[in-house]
Chains A and B, each alone.
Chain A
Amino acid sequence: MSGLRPFVVVLVANAVLLLLVREANFYLNPLGLTLFPAGLFVVFAAWHLPVGTGMAAVLLTGLLWGARLPVPLGLMPLFLGLAHGLLFHLRRRVRSRDPLTAAWAAAGANALLLLGWTVVLWPGEGLAAYTLRFLGDLLLSEALVFPAAYWFVSLQESVLHRWRPAPPVEEEG
């Protein structure tokens, strides 16, 4: 599965999901909670696409996300790229490609990314409150990423299946 089609499908699906997550966070943020969905953006690209296509889609998703954040632009693509690399290596060991396995992988990658992001951006004071908020965000994100990954991976598979190129017509001699 290489080429422009899977790249476009993954990028568009990620962009739409990013908007939906922003909308969810609009209502969650006043409660002191943030939904962090990074694992969802990498799992399908890492498990189903060739390295170049998947990495390009993931890095562009990172640029889209990072452009609206008050951090250096390359930071989010770097995090997503590392997660993509990790899952890509993992796909050789895990034979199953069903959405349930992908959901576990997305949840694991998401927890790692959230932990890494929290460590890198630690402000240097107020560790107790910072950790408590991190745990709240982690619980919420994992609780939502796991079922969402199941749906999201199935959605991308289904769109790619429907949008597959038509088989070549054999000419009758």
Chain B
Amino acid sequence: MAGRNPLRDRPFAVLAVLILAWLLLPPAVQRFAGTAFSEFQAPAEEALSRVRDLGRYWSLRTLSRRELIETGRELSRLNALYRLQAGETEALRQYNARLRGLLDLPEPVGFRREVARVTGRELTNWWQSVTIRKGREDGIRPGHGVVFAGGVVGRVREVFAGTARVELVTSPGFRMAAHFEGDRRPVRYEGRPVGLLTDPEGQVRDVPSDFFASPEEPLELVSSRLGGVFPDGLPLGTVERLQTGPSGLFQTGPVLLDPGLLTLEEVAVLVPETRGGPGDAEP
């Protein structure tokens, strides 16, 4: 006579046995399982994002010829402006390099920009991240900085073969060094989760007491070269209010971030160049 299964109709006992078995697995096996489960889903997510792109393409195809001509003209004007600005930037870069040579200053680390499409968003109450369609095969590594047209996006947190997860500047665990435009003293920036139907916000801490900010005279917070993740001077946000902290020595205040952070479609990962390499981003 077969004995009765002791785990039959006992879901919590089954769960306890399975959790114990999971905990007894070597950490390498657990990590492998995590990566395998994640990689398994990557093609499906990529397919969904491509379907989204296709939908956008077909919606653009409905535009009339006249609208396309007007858009082309607008783009042509913008192109001319950007070419002019690129020329000025190149002249400034050469001037900067000459000054560095005269002062015998070391060359800062340059960055290669790896442009990537956003395939997924996780802007929850608990964390804020996006998934991009580039990964280890494109030279992206955990810790690399990520930017977009509006400034700093965040930092690469996890990298898989063809995708990567980027922790946004709004994520509660996000910290980075920053400074105010026109001032070299470093301050600390921290992320804050996006609230219900509100624009993204962060928080600035350790601001010296001689700073003053108001809606009429806001302060521009920009990235700092400290830490080596971002070049100097990338826009981070605007500070319109500062208040003295409990110590009385430093101030804190909310940072108004670019609302475009919530609807990102394309970003650029800053991959550090080795010294003397063909860096395209001179900070």
Question: How distant is A47 from chain B, measured CB to nearest CB, in Å?
Answer: 12
Contact B123 A34 (CB under 8 A): yes
Contact B38 A85 (CB under 8 A): no
Decide if A173 is an interface residue (CB 8 Å cutoff). Answer: no
Point out the residue from A29, A78, A84, A88 that lies within 8 Å of B19, measured CB to CB.
A78
Decide if B95 is an interface residue (CB 8 Å cutoff). Answer: no
Contact A85 B196 (CB under 8 A): no
**Chain B residues with CB under 8 A of A126:** 192-193
Decide if A82 is an interface residue (CB 8 Å cutoff). Answer: yes
Q: Which among A3-11, A19-27, A148-156 touches the partner chain? A: A19-27
Give CA–CA (A105, B122) in the complex, Å: 27
> Which residues 239-253 of B have a CB within 8 angstroms of A?
none
Contact B11 A84 (CB under 8 A): yes
Decide if A74 is an interface residue (CB 8 Å cutoff). Answer: yes
Q: How many A-B residue pairs have CB under 8 A?
A: 127
| Known A63-B37, A67-B41, A130-B193; contact A29-B9, beta-carbon cutoff 8 A | no
**Chain A residues with CB under 8 A of B9:** 51, 88
Decide if A123 is an interface residue (CB 8 Å cutoff). Answer: yes
Contact B33 A32 (CB under 8 A): no
Decide if B262 is an interface residue (CB 8 Å cutoff). Answer: yes
Give CA–CA (A59, B22) in the complex, Å: 11
Decide if B206 is an interface residue (CB 8 Å cutoff). Answer: no
> Which residues 53-92 of B have a CB within 8 angstroms of A?
none
Contact B122 A32 (CB under 8 A): no
Decide if A133 is an interface residue (CB 8 Å cutoff). Answer: yes
By beta carbon, the residue of chain B nearest A73 is: B34
Contact B45 A19 (CB under 8 A): yes
Give CA–CA (A134, B193) in the complex, Å: 12
Contact B38 A68 (CB under 8 A): yes
Decide if B8 is an interface residue (CB 8 Å cutoff). Answer: yes
Residue total for A at the interface (Cβ-Cβ under 8 A): 45
Question: How distant is B70 from chain A, measured CB to nearest CB, in Å?
Answer: 28
Point out the residue from A68, A82, A136 that lies within 8 Å of B196, measured CB to CB.
A136
| Known A19-B45, A118-B125, A132-B195; contact A82-B15, beta-carbon cutoff 8 A | yes
**Chain A residues with CB under 8 A of B19:** 74, 78, 81
Decide if B263 is an interface residue (CB 8 Å cutoff). Answer: yes
By beta carbon, the residue of chain A nearest B48 is: A23
Main SS class of interface, B: mixed
Contact B37 A51 (CB under 8 A): no
Decide if A55 is an interface residue (CB 8 Å cutoff). Answer: yes
Give CA–CA (A121, B8) in the complex, Å: 33
Give CA–CA (A46, B126) in the complex, Å: 28
Contact A22 B45 (CB under 8 A): yes
Question: How distant is A153 from chain B, measured CB to nearest CB, in Å?
Answer: 19
> Which residues 143-166 of A have a CB within 8 angstroms of B?
none
> Which residues 15-52 of A have a CB within 8 angstroms of B?
19, 22-23, 25-26, 29-34, 46, 51-52
B1-40: CB near A (< 8 Å → 1, else 0) gives: 0000001111110110011001100000010011101101
Contact A26 B121 (CB under 8 A): yes
Question: How distant is A43 from chain B, measured CB to nearest CB, in Å?
Answer: 14
Question: How distant is B142 from chain A, measured CB to nearest CB, in Å?
Answer: 12
Give CA–CA (A85, B16) in the complex, Å: 11
Contact B198 A32 (CB under 8 A): yes
Contact A51 B7 (CB under 8 A): yes
Give CA–CA (A137, B192) in the complex, Å: 17
Decide if B223 is an interface residue (CB 8 Å cutoff). Answer: no
**Chain B residues with CB under 8 A of A55:** 11, 14-15, 18
Interface residues of chain B, those whose CB is within 8 Å of chain A, are 7-12, 14-15, 18-19, 22-23, 30, 33-35, 37-38, 40-41, 44-45, 48, 52, 120-127, 129, 131, 157-158, 165, 167, 172-173, 192-198, 262-263
Q: List 5 A-B contacts (CB under 8 A).
A: A32-B123, A64-B37, A67-B40, A84-B15, A126-B193
Closest 9 CB pairs of A and B: A67-B37, A85-B11, A29-B123, A30-B262, A67-B38, A81-B15, A121-B126, A136-B196, A123-B172
